[in-house]
Chains A and B, each alone.
Chain A
Amino acid sequence: MEVTTKSMPYDAWKDNEYIEKLVKELNENGTNVIVGSLDKLINWGRSNSIWPLTFATSCCGIEFVSLGAARFDMARFGWEVARSSPRQADFMMVAGTIVHRMVPVFRRLYDQLAEPKYVIACGGCAISGGPFRKSYHVAKGIGDIVPVDVYVPGCPPRPEAMIYGIMQLSRKMKVERFFGGVNRQEKQKEFLAAHPVEGVED
C-alpha cells in the first residue's frame, strides 16, 4: 500500500521506509473487512482535518503565521482552523524554544489535548535546544517531555518545510487503526508511563 496524498507522487516523499514499517505493523494480524473500511473512512476524515493549536513561543511561530497567510495558505489543506483551546485541537506545532519554566505549562497543554493528539517539533530549539542547547534554562528537546510524531528541522523552518511536516503527519494518520488495538496509542501510553507528571492522578 502506497500512502500518499493528492498530487504527491510516492517517490517524492522522504522517510517512506518508516511509513512502510507502520503499514506492515498495521496489517500484521489481518483486518476485518467492515472494521477495516470503517477505519479507512475515519482515517480519511482525520488525516484531512488536522486542526492546530495556536501555540508559539518564538521565531518559528512567526513562520507559522506566514504559513497561514496568502502566499502559503494552509487553508488549502484544511489546517487553518487554529483553535486556541487545546481541547479542540488535534495537534500541537511546537514552534519555538521550550524553557524550564515553560515545561510544566507545555506538558499540561499536551495533556489537555483531546485524543487522538499529535505533536510536531518544529525548529532546532524544539528538537534539541538548537542554538541555546548549552543554556542553563533551556530544555534539550521536547522529545523528553512529550512523544513527538514529526520533527521539522530548521531555524526557523521555512513554511514549505512546515507544510511538508504536517503532510507527513497526515500520512502517519492514514496508517492507524482506530478500532481494536491502536498501534500508535500503545507507544504513547508507554511513553507517558515513563514520563509521569508528579502530583497528577490518571
Chain B
Amino acid sequence: MQDFSFLTTWLDNSLRSIMPGWLSVTVECLLVGVGLLLVYALLALFYIYYERKLCAAFQCRLGPNRVGPWGLLQSFADMFKMLIKEIIHLNHIDRFLFALAPYLVIIASMLAFAVLPWGNGLQIIDFNIGIFFLIAVSSIGVLGILLAGWSSNNKFTLIGSLRSGAQMVSYELSIGLSVITMVCLAGTMSVGGIVQEQENLWFIFKGHVPAVIAFIIYMIAGTAETNRGPFDLPEAESELTAGYHTEYSGMHFGFFYLAEYLNLFIVSGVASLLFLGGWMPLHFPGWDAFNHIMDYIPSVVWFIGKAVLLSFVIIWFKWTFPRLRIDQLLSLEWKYLLPINLVNLVLMVLIIVNGWHF
C-alpha cells in the first residue's frame, strides 16, 4: 500500500533545513490551508457538475454539455458569474448577523472537511477525538442557517430556518448515535485509528447486522443533515421559494450553495470512513492475493471513490422521492430512527462483548 507520509515528511524536513522551526510550521499551516481551500473549491465545483449531470441522466436529459468538453467547465462559469454578482444590501435587517451567517456555514463545513482522512498518511491532524470533533463542528452549520433565516427579516426565511433548526437538532441525534455505534466497534475515536481498525475487514462487514442498520440510519440522517431531498424542507422550493437563503445574493448565496454540496461530500466521506474503511482498500481476511491487488489502487482514489459513490446514492434519493412534511419528518426521527438506533447500540455492545463480530 502506498504511504503518502513520505511526501509530508519530505516537505517538513526540507522546510526545516532552510528556516527556523516556528517559521516552517507557519509555512506548513499556510500551505495546508491554501491546499484545503483549493481542494474544497474544486470539489464543490465538481459536485455541482456531478449532480447536474446525474439529475439529467435520471430525467432522460443530457445535462450541461456546451461549456468546455462534456460541459465540464459549466460550474467554473457559474463560479465566475457568482463572484461578480452584486451583493444586495437590504434595509431593515441585522446587518452583522446577515453577513456573518454564510461564513459560519462555510467555516463549519471547512472545519469538518479538514479532519477527513484523505489517504494513507494524508491527514492534516489525527487526534484522539477526531470523529467527535467532526460531529461537533459540523453542527455549527445549523447556527449559520438559523442566523440567516432570522437576520433576513423575511417570513419565508424565518420559517425555513425554524424548520431547519428543528430538523438538524433531531437528526444530529441519529447521526451521533450511529457514529457511537461504530465507535464502539472501533474502540477509538481517532479517525486514523478507525481506519486502521478496518485493515482486515470493513466495518460494515465486520459488524454485520447492527453495522448495516447503523449505516442505513446514518445515510438517512446524513441526507437530512445536508438539507437534501427528500428532507429539503428548509429550502423547499415549492413552499418557501428558496428557504433560509431567499434574501442572499452574489457570493453570499454562493457560500450556501458551495457548502451544501461540500456537506454532501462530508456526509458521504464520513460514511465511507465509518462503514467502508475510509481510504482503506477492500481487504478480506485470508485472501492475501486479492488484498495485495487491491493495495495497488492508491488510497486517495479509494477514499474519494467511496465518497462519490455514496453521494450518488444521496443524489439518487433526491431525484426520486417526494418531499416529506415537517411533522412526518420529525416523527420519522423521534418515533422510528431514534428507538431503532438505541436498540441497535445495545445490540452492537452485546455483539462486541460476546465477540460475535468477524
Contacts and interface: CB of A to CB of B under 8 A. Distances in A.
Asked if A and B bind, the verdict is yes
A70 B66 contact: no
A115 B77 contact: no
Contacts, number: 98
Interface stretch (A27-35, A42-50, A132-140, A148-156): A42-50
B86 A114 contact: yes
A41 B79 CA distance: 11
B85 A78 contact: no
Contact of B61 (A46, A75, A84, A90): A75
A49 B52 contact: no
B77 A70 contact: no
A83 to B, nearest CB: 7
A85 interface: yes
A87 B64 contact: no
Main secondary structure of the interface of B (DSSP, over half): loop
Contacts of B85: 90, 114-116
B86 A45 contact: no
Contact of A78 (B67, B80, B83): B67
Nearest to A45: B80
Given A42-B84, A114-B86, A70 B242 contact: no
B249 A76 contact: no
A63 interface: no
Interface residues of A, number: 29
Contacts of A84: 237, 241-242
Contacts of B62: 73, 75-76
Interface in A66-82: 69-70, 73, 75-78, 80-81
A101 interface: no
Nearest to B256: A88
Contacts of B78: 45, 49, 78, 81
Nearest to B73: A48
Interface of B: 52, 56, 59-67, 71, 73-74, 76-88, 237, 241-242, 245-250, 253
20 contacts: A45-B76, A45-B77, A45-B81, A45-B84, A46-B77, A46-B84, A48-B66, A48-B74, A49-B77, A49-B82, A73-B61, A75-B62, A75-B63, A75-B64, A77-B67, A81-B78, A87-B249, A88-B249, A116-B84, A116-B85
The 4 A-B pairs with the shortest beta carbon distances in the complex, nearest first, are: A45-B80, A48-B77, A87-B249, A85-B242
